[in-house]
């Protein structure tokens, strides 16, 4: 059975649908979420509630891989994701694999491939962090503009991570980052080897789901941040850079009211969802689940519809 890939923006219901599919197929779930990998960040990342048993993370007795395993000071990337997925797939050659997540780069890297680019080095990362601290995100973007105007024009100045990576590639290769791309980025997944499903929510309804979820998880997110900081972790460790946690930390410091922090987190989440929709919309060969009413989201029925389309 070829893998089923559930993709879509944050708060679209991918986890619930993956669990329904796993029940109907006897499959296992592989998360493609760059934040749910972290231990100790559960509520704020909307990690599926589960428990570890005999070395497996189980959600409703269903094996759920690539969540809750990474230390909060460590980093994770698409290459590491692909390596771990290959190991999981090799251990379960006859088990249906259900992928669920909103980190499009991870899914694309595994199913389509990405350009073979040099990895980060401690030296370039330290140089980038120093530049960011001294010049800010605008200075960082200006440095990219001087070396690679094409990439700078395509990357918003506020997107620090993409700016840093493009600038790092310029330093590591001596070439503009844009010239290193092979075209794999725009290739569609092969429908013969994987079945992609896109959860296409009405935008306003999705925004309501985001607002409701942000209100529900915020206090737990703040508690998780408070505990890590109380234990001596710096507020800028990789895990605490996850969406929403910087605002939770500002709330804890008294720099934002609870209402202000929640609104900022909701706004940032809406912006993230917009970027996800843009990314996943290009997969024109994906099965689209159009959700124009809250009542349209019935995981068991949607799972059955996915499996019907899969068989056809």
Residue 125 structure tokens? 């990362």
Is residue 185 situated within a structural domain?
A: no
Tell me, yes or no, whether 286 and 201 share the same domain: yes
Q: Do residues 198 and 168 share a domain?
A: no
Same domain, 129 and 201: no
Residues 88 and 208 in one domain: yes
Instruction: Look up the CATH number of the domain holding residue 145.
Output: 1.10.20.140
Residues 30 and 133 in one domain: no
Domain presence at residue 187: no
Domain that holds residue 21: 4-114+192-311
Same domain, 209 and 110: yes
**Structural domain includes residue 54:** yes
User: Per the domain annotation, does 152 fall within a domain?
Assistant: yes
- Cα distance between residue 55 and residue 52, in whole Å: 6
Q: What is the pLDDT along the chain (312 residues), one digit of tens a residue?
A: 899 999 999 999 999 999 999 999 999 999 999 999 999 999 999 999 999 999 999 999 999 999 999 999 999 999 899 999 999 999 999 999 999 999 999 999 999 988 778 888 889 999 999 999 999 999 999 999 999 999 999 898 888 888 999 999 999 999 998 888 766 777 899 999 999 999 999 999 999 999 999 999 999 999 999 999 999 999 999 999 999 999 999 999 999 999 999 999 999 999 999 999 999 999 999 999 999 999 999 999 999 999 999 998
Same domain, 131 and 151: yes
Domain count, the chain: 2
pLDDT at 139: 93
Q: Are residues 110 and 128 in the same domain?
A: no
Q: Write down the pLDDT at residue 184.
A: 72
């Amino acid at each position: 059975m070829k893998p089923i890939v559930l993709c879509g923006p944050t708060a679209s219901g991918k986890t619930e649908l993956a669990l329904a599919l796993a029940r109907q197929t006897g499959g296992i779930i592989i998360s493609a979420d760059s934040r749910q990998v972290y231990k100790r960040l559960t509520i704020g990342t909307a990690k599926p509630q589960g428990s570890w048993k005999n070395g497996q993370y189980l959600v409703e007795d269903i094996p759920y891989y690539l969540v809750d395993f990474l230390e909060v000071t460590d980093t994770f990337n698409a290459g590491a994701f692909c390596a771990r997925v290959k190991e999981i797939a090799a251990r379960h050659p006859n088990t249906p694999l259900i992928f669920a997540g909103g980190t499009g780069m991870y899914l694309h890297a595994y199913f389509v491939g990405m350009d073979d680019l040099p990895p980060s080095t401690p030296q370039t990362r330290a140089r980038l962090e120093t530049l960011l601290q001294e010049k800010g995100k605008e200075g960082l973007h200006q440095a990219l503009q001087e070396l690679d105007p094409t990439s700078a024009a395509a990357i918003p100045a506020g997107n620090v991570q993409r700016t840093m990576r493009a600038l790092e590639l310029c330093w590591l290769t001596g070439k503009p980052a844009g010239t290193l791309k092979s075209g794999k980025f725009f290739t569609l997944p092969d429908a013969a080897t994987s079945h992609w499903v896109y959860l296409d929510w009405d935008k306003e309804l999705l925004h309501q789901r985001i607002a409701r979820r942000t209100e529900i998880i915020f206090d737990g997110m703040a508690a998780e941040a408070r505990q890590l900081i109380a234990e001596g972790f710096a507020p800028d460790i990789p895990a605490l850079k996850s969406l929403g946690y910087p605002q939770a930390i500002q709330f804890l410091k008294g720099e934002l009211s609870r209402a202000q922090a929640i609104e900022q987190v909701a706004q940032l989440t809406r912006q993230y969802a917009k970027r996800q929709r843009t990314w996943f919309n290009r997969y024109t060969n994906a099965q689209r689940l159009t959700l124009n009413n809250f009542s349209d989201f019935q995981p068991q029925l949607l799972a059955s519809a996915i499996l019907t389309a899969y068989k056809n």
